[in-house]
Amino acid sequence: MERKLLTKDSYRSLITKLIGQNYQVVAPVKKDTMIDFLKISSFDEITEDYIVTVSSAKTVAFPRNEKLFDYEKQNKKLTQQDYDFDSIPQSVLIGVRPCDAFGFHSLSSIFCWDSIDKIYTTRLERTTIIGLSCNKSDDYCFCTSTKGSPGSTAGSDILLTKMTDGNYIVEIVTEKGAKLVADFSDLFTADGGVDKESLLAKVAANFNVDDVLAKINSKFEDEAFWTEQAMRCIGCGACAYVCPTCACFDIQDESHGGKGHRVRCWESCGLSLFTLHTSGHNPRENQGQRWRQRLMHKFSYMPDRLNTIGCVGCGRCSRACPVDMNIAEHCMSIIEN
C-alpha cells in the first residue's frame, strides 16, 4: 500500500482547503460535554481527544432522519417532489476510527442487499473517508476480537496514523483516497518509513468472533439463556442508534394540513414496538427475544446472508448503554454456555 507523510501543518492546510472548496467536512468535535461527528467550518474545531465518538460515522450516509420526498394535496390533486440527489454534498469525513470505517462495509452490505438504496449509496459515494488509527483504547474496545485492528485500513479511503512528532503517516487505500492525495499533492511528502505498528493502541483479543458465529445458531431456542442474558436490558434504543452497522429504520409521514413529507428514521430492535404486528401479535414480545434478535442479526444473519459480521468491536453500544449491557461479555457468554 502506498504510503506518504502529512505534516501537522499540511493537515491543517488540507482541511482548510477542503472547507474553502465547499466540501462538507465532518469531523469529531467537542460539543458541550460530548465528542461527536459534526460539520466543521474551521480546522480548529477538530479534536483528536477521543477513543470513539458517541455516535458513529454512519450518520453521514445514514442520518437519523432522511426526508425521502415531499407531497402536497390540493383539491384532490396530489403533487410529489422527489428526493433531490443534487442536495447531497461532496463530503470528507475525517478522524474516523478503523472500527467505524469498517462499519460502512457492513452497513453497505445491508443497503445494497436485494435492491440498491440509492440515497445511501450516493451519500457514501460522495464521501471520502479519512481514517485515523487508534493510539489509545479503553475497556469497551474489542475490535481485535471481531477481525479488526486499531490500525486497519479496511473501509478508509486514506488512513492517517499520528506519529510521536505530531505528523501523520498516510496510507492510500482506495482510488478515491488516491484522487484526494493527487488533488492536494503539494501537501503530501515522501514517507519516512516509521514503524506504524508501534504507534497503535494495544487491544487484547478476549475472544474470537468465529467461535460466536459457530455457536450462536445452536443457542437460538434456548429461551432461558436469552431471558437471563437480557434481564438487565431495559429496552431502549441507545445501542442500535450509536452502532455503526445497525441499519433498521422506520418510515414516517409528517404532515401539516395538506402538505407533508415522508421520512426515514432510525428504529431499534430493543424497543417494544419492534416487529409488533397490526394484529397485536409480536413475534419478539419480550426483551430476551429482542436481545437475541440483536445478537443473531450481527453474528448469524449477517454472516450467513451478507458474508459480513455485523459487529466491528467499537464498543459504542456498551458505552452508551444505561445499564452496561457489554456486548463483548455477551459474546463470551455465548461461547461459554
Partner 1 sequence: MNNLQQKAQQLLESGNYGLIVGYEKGTSGKARPVFIRKAEHASKLIFDESCDQNIAVYLYRQEIKHDKKKVIVANHHTLKSIVELAAENQVFDGDFMVLAFAGNGDIIELNTFEEIEKHVATLYHGLTEAEAAMMKKIEDMSLEDRWAFWENEFSKCIKCYACRASCPMCYCPTCTVEINQPQWISVPSHTLGNLEWHVMRAMHLAGRCVTCGQCGKACPLELPIQLLTYKVALDSKQFFDSVAGTSICADNALAIFKPEDHENFIR
Phi, psi of 80, rounded to the nearest 5 degrees? -130, 135
Between CA 263 and CA 252 the distance in angstroms is 5
Q: Does 34 bind partner 1 (CB under 8 A)?
A: yes
Binding segment toward partner 1, per CB under 8 A, in 42-50, 100-108, 112-120, 247-255: 247-255
Q: What binding mask, one character per residue, do residues 125-144 give for partner 1 by CB under 8 A, x or -?
A: -------------xxx----
Q: What binding mask, one character per residue, do residues 141-170 give for partner 1 by CB under 8 A, x or -?
A: ------------------------------
Nearer CB in complex with partner 1: 42/272: 272
Strand 24-31 and strand 91-96: the pairing is parallel
2: left (phi over 0), alpha (psi -120 to 50) or beta: beta
Given 238, 246, 269, 296, the residue binding partner 1 (CB under 8 A) = 238
Q: Does 320 bind partner 1 (CB under 8 A)?
A: yes
193: left (phi over 0), alpha (psi -120 to 50) or beta: left
Q: Does 265 bind partner 1 (CB under 8 A)?
A: yes
Q: Does 235 bind partner 1 (CB under 8 A)?
A: yes
- Are 94 and 74 spatial neighbours (Cβ–Cβ below 8 Å)? no
Q: Does 333 bind partner 1 (CB under 8 A)?
A: no
- Are 129 and 96 spatial neighbours (Cβ–Cβ below 8 Å)? yes
Rounding to the nearest 10 degrees, give the CA dihedral for residues 157, 167, 193, 164: -120
Given 236, 306, 332, 335, the residue binding partner 1 (CB under 8 A) = 236
**Identity at 152, one-letter amino acid code:** S
CA nearest neighbour of 290 among 326, 239, 215: 239
Q: Does 68 bind partner 1 (CB under 8 A)?
A: no
Given 21, 185, 322, 337, the residue binding partner 1 (CB under 8 A) = 322
Residue 93 pairs with which residues in a beta bridge? 26, 129
Q: Does 266 bind partner 1 (CB under 8 A)?
A: yes
Residue 66 pairs with which residues in a beta bridge? 264
Given 53, 55, 156, 161, the residue binding partner 1 (CB under 8 A) = 55
Place of cell 419480550: 286
Compute how many residues bind partner 1; rule: CB under 8 A: 45
Helix %, strand %, coil % of the chain (to 5) = 35, 20, 40
Residue 325 CB, nearest approach to partner 1 (Å):
9
Q: Does 111 bind partner 1 (CB under 8 A)?
A: no
- List CB contacts of 82: < 8 A, sequence separation 6 or more: 69
Binding segment toward partner 1, per CB under 8 A, in 100-108, 111-119, 176-184, 266-274: 266-274
Nearer CB in complex with partner 1: 59/167: 59
Residue 260 pairs with which residues in a beta bridge? 71, 255
Given 182, 254, 304, 337, the residue binding partner 1 (CB under 8 A) = 254
Nearer CB in complex with partner 1: 108/287: 287
Q: Which helix (H) or strand (E) holds 142?
A: none
Site for partner 1, rule CB under 8 A: 31-34, 36, 54-55, 64-65, 138-140, 227-228, 231-232, 234-238, 240-242, 250, 252, 254, 263, 265-266, 268, 271-273, 286-288, 318-320, 322-324, 326, 329
